[in-house]
Amino acid sequence: MSHVSHKPTKLQQKVLDVIMRYHEKHNAAPTIYEIQKKLALISSRSVTQHLEALEKKGFIHRTRYKNRGIMLTSTLKDGEMVLLPVFASAGCGSPAVIAERAFDEFMEVASNLLKGKKKEDLFVMKAIGNSMNEAGIRDGDYVLVERIVDQDFEMGDSVVAIIDDHAVIKRYTRADDLIILQPVSSDRAHRAIILGGDATYKIFGKVIRTIHMPKTRDIQYAPVVS
C-alpha cells in the first residue's frame, strides 16, 4: 500500500508561503499570475497543479472562477498540522530586538495546540533572554501568540508588547492609569517596564503556549512541546 504524505512538497510549500505572506500583507488572496510571477514558474498550469495538491491536503480552499479565490484553511481537525508564521525574535530582557512585521519562516504546529483559536490570529515568536524564565519561557523557546485586537488582557497574562518598534515578552499588570510589563525571572537584575498614556507602545498579543525546542540546529518543523 502506498503512503500519501499530508505535508506539502518543497514546491508546494513555496506556493503556500506566497499565499500566507500575501494574505498577511493584503488581507486577500494572490492571483494565480501573481504566484507564478513571484516564484518564476514557467506556466500558470504549474501553479494550478500545486494549488490542487494543497487543497487536497487541507491547507487551502479555493472558490472556482474567482480571481482571488484562494483561502487559507482555518478549521482543522484534531491531530492535523497547521503552518504558522514565525515573527522576528522578542527580547525577554529589554526592548532591544526589532519586531519586523515581515516573516520568512513558518513552523508546523499540531492543531490541538491551538486551543480552538483561529489560525489567522496566531503566530510564533522566538524568545531571547531570561527575564521570563520563572514563567516557563526560557531563552531560545518559541511562544505561540494570539493577536488581540481589542486589547482585552487580564492581569497576569504573558503578552508580547511592541515598544518603539521593539518587541518584548512580559507579564501584564495595571496600576491606576499605568500599564506595567513585569519580568518573571530568577535574575533580579531585570526591571519592570512602566508605560503611561504618552508612551509609544502596543500590546500585540497574548502568549497561549510555550514551545520548548530541542538542542538542535534543525528546528523549523520539529517542535517539542511541554
The residues carrying an active-site annotation are: 131, 170
User: Which residues have a Cβ under 8 Å from the Cβ of 207 and sit 6 or more positions away?
Assistant: 137, 143, 144, 145, 157, 158, 159, 160, 169
- Find the farthest-apart pair of alpha carbons in the chain and give their distance in angstroms, rounded: 66
What is the amino acid identity at position 130? N
Torsion angles phi and psi, residue 202, rounded to 5: -150, 130
Size of the chain in residues: 226
Can you say whether the dihedral through the CA atoms of 182, 118, 108, 147 is positive or negative? Answer: negative
CA distance 193 to 80: 39
